[in-house]
Amino acid sequence: MKARLSWICHGPTQANRKGCFPDDEPLEAKALQRDDLPSFRLGAVDRIWTSPALRARQTATVLGLDASPELALRECDYGNWRGRSLTELHDSDPGSLALWMTDLSAAPHGGESLSAVAGRVAEWMGHRIGDAGHTVAVTHATVIRAAILHVLQVPPAAFWAIDIEPFGIVEMTSDGRRWQLRFPKMPA
């Protein structure tokens, strides 16, 4: 039995562009224009999940994917940092920002820690490991980073060395026992 899991990061938002912690903002207007979208070659898909966040649901819609909301794929709850920029936090509360960036179990914003996100993503992946066929998950860079950390079993600090762009795709496969990263060849 072979399983394939395609992670798609939601499209660009104003929060992305301004370096702000996300709230439930929509995609930027240009991301909603179908002629401006990257080309996706997903092949046959057996199931499609999306974060319940507006930007992820909109991404699924503009890609023509009929996705079901999945709470486990939600963005990290950034608590009272939602809508605030990294620059603003660096100026107003550099100690809390530094703690958050060096200790994935910390949640100085009063929301969810990144280690909690990693735990829920790993649990969700564990439930999907036996799913035959192709699954697509439209979600957030934070969630996809957590999935990569889980697959590679690398130290949590590696979280910050992973860059997932809007509309970025990460592929994984499973033989029913473990997940592995997959780097597909370029289309001819």
| 151-170 residue pLDDT tens | 999 998 899 999 999 999 99
Share of the chain above pLDDT 90, in %: 82
Q: What number is the average pLDDT over the span 76-80?
A: 97
**pLDDT score of 121:** 98
Coil, strand, or helix at residue 11?
coil
Which residue carries 């029913």 as its tokens?
176
**C-alpha closest to that of 70 among 112, 124, 117:** 124
- β-bridge mates for residue 69, sequence order: 50
Which residue carries 């079993």 as its tokens?
153
**pLDDT score of 39:** 56
Q: Which domains does the chain have, with CATH numbers?
A: 3-182 (3.40.50.1240)
| 17-41 residue pLDDT tens | 999 999 999 999 887 776 655 556 6
Quote the distance between the C-alpha of residue 95 and its chain's center: 26
Element (H, E) at 169: strand 169-174
d(CA 121, CA 79): 19
Which residue carries 């936090």 as its tokens?
89
Read off the pTM. Answer: 0.93
- β-bridge mates for residue 148, sequence order: none
What's the length of the chain? Answer: 188
Confidence category of residue 185, pLDDT binned at 50, 70, 90:
confident
| 109-156 residue pLDDT tens | 999 999 999 999 999 999 999 899 999 999 999 999 999 999 999 998
d(CA 58, CA 99): 33
Q: What number is the average pLDDT over the span 92-119?
A: 96
